[in-house]
Amino acid sequence: MGLFDKLKGEFVDIIEWTDSSNDTMVWRFPRYQNEIKMGAKLTVRESQTAIFVNEGTMADEYKPGMYELQTQNMPLMTTLRGWKYGFNSPFKAEVYFVNTKQFTNQKWGTKNPIMLRDAEFGPIRLRAFGTYALRIKDAKKFLKEIAGTDAHFTTDEITEQLRNLVITRFTDAVAESKIPVLDLAANYDELSKFVGEKINPEFEELGVEVTKLLIENISLPPEVEAALDKRSSMGIIGNLGAYTQFQAANSMEKAAENGNSVMGAGVGMGMGFGMGNQMGNMFNQNQFNPNQNQNTPPPPPPALQYFIAVNGAQTGPFTDQVMAQMAQQGTLKKDSLIWKNGMAAWTAADQLAEIAKLFSAMPPPLPPQL
């Protein structure tokens, strides 16, 4: 082998890149002191762009296809190198392959809660996370602004900066939207589109574009979510007063079943009758009537409710009707301690005018038998 053949073997004849990774954005063709000769084959595959850099200056850019490197298809390189008349000589140049495919499933999320003002709850703290997809839109700008001379540039080297941009613009978008916290979940698509449109101009300054941005979850602090769960439970229960009476009726019934005293049995029966009547009335009032006039009068104010001390334990609440039944049955006595809302302390039943009249309407005890 002669000297010429040996030098010829040092020249690079094929320039290409097959990417086996999922995160490489820019890859520099390894030259290893070899020269590229005129007539070498350049293969640029789909989702790739090749850029030639001559002495630090970006020259020709090649889209997908196969090229035979000649002065005719290297106009910028020809100008920089000063070739004339198609001079066929080897040259040294750096070749960067830029990956223009979409890089999907890039994570973003708030490291710390973001403070916002909600119309219903006031100041609140939110956390959010999701994913986005990006791709290189302008290869030369990306190489100039981000990758630089990095021979192997991956998504890990830029995602932190892009993530911060996403979070900042997401915070602005949520604050400007004025969407109530409880309605955010119903507007994920709209928010995602709005945030994507807002951050793309800043991404394009780096030669990158966001092709898809998704919001997966927006959450409140655990203690606030627990309070919302309680609020939801109360909404499911409905009428809290009726629910309390129902619970009291069950408690009194169990007390009557388990207790041996006549007082416990009487209170249980009275409570059962009273609650049964009230629940029946409530059921009849709540029946659905499609022809019901919407201009019905408002419901009457709630009746007074009383509590009775039985064997050192508080029982109730009881309505006027139940109290009258208990007085007739003898389970409510004049010296029974009673309390209602607005009273400072427990007092005897006959000290309350509305309760004392229940005893005056009762027949006197029968005379003793001779």
240-258 helix and 262-285 helix, angle to the nearest 10 degrees? 150
Whether the per-residue pLDDT at 267 is higher than 80: the answer is: no
Q: Domain for residue 169, yes or no?
A: yes
Tell me, what DSSP letter sits at residue 212?
A: E
* Range with top average pLDDT, 177-186, 196-205, 226-235, 347-356: 196-205
Whether the per-residue pLDDT at 61 is higher than 90: the answer is: yes
pLDDT of 263:
47
Check residues 286 and 159 and name the one with the higher pLDDT. 159
Whether the per-residue pLDDT at 283 is higher than 50: the answer is: no
Note whether 254 and 325 are same-domain residues: yes
Whether the per-residue pLDDT at 191 is higher than 60: the answer is: yes
Q: Domain for residue 92, yes or no?
A: yes
Residue at which a domain ends, from 194, 225, 256: 225
Note whether 124 and 217 are same-domain residues: yes
Domain span at residue 279 reads 238-284+303-360
How many of the other CB atoms lie within 10 Å of CB of 245? 23
Q: How confident is the model at residue 96 (pLDDT cuts 50, 70, 90)?
A: very high
pLDDT tens digit string along 152-171? 999 998 888 888 888 888 88
Task: Calculate what percentage of the chain has a pLDDT beyond 70.
Answer: 73
How many of the other CB atoms lie within 10 Å of CB of 312? 6
Number of domains in the chain: 3
Q: Domain for residue 140, yes or no?
A: yes
Check residues 51 and 313 and name the one with the higher pLDDT. 51
Check if the beta carbon of residue 81 is closer than 8 Å to that of residue 69.
no
Q: Domain for residue 365, yes or no?
A: no
pLDDT of 27:
94
Give, in degrees to the nearest 5, the angle at Cα 106 between 104 and 112: 160
Q: What is the mean pLDDT of residues 102-122?
A: 87
Q: Domain for residue 215, yes or no?
A: yes
Provide CB contacts within 8 A for 343, sequence distance 6+: none
DSSP conformation letters of 15-63: E------SSEEEEEPP-TT--EEEEEEEEE-TTEEEEEEETTEEEEEE-
pLDDT tens digit string along 207-248? 999 999 998 888 888 888 788 777 777 666 666 666 676 667
> Mean pLDDT of all residues in the chain?
78
pLDDT of 101:
93
Whether the per-residue pLDDT at 268 is higher than 60: the answer is: no
Instruction: Among 79-93, 168-182, 266-280, name the one with the lowest average pLDDT.
Output: 266-280
Computed from CA positions of residues 338, 340, 346, 349, in that sequence, does the dihedral angle turn out positive or negative? Answer: negative
Note whether 65 and 169 are same-domain residues: no
Whether the per-residue pLDDT at 62 is higher than 90: the answer is: yes
What pTM was computed for the model?
A: 0.57
Q: Is 260 left (phi over 0), alpha (psi -120 to 50) or beta?
A: alpha
Q: Is 256 left (phi over 0), alpha (psi -120 to 50) or beta?
A: alpha
Counted residue by residue, the chain has a size of 370
Q: Domain for residue 366, yes or no?
A: no
Instruction: Give the CA count within 13 Å in the CB-facing half-sphere of 194.
Output: 14
Q: Domain for residue 55, yes or no?
A: yes
pLDDT of 63:
94
pLDDT tens digit string along 71-84? 778 888 878 877 66
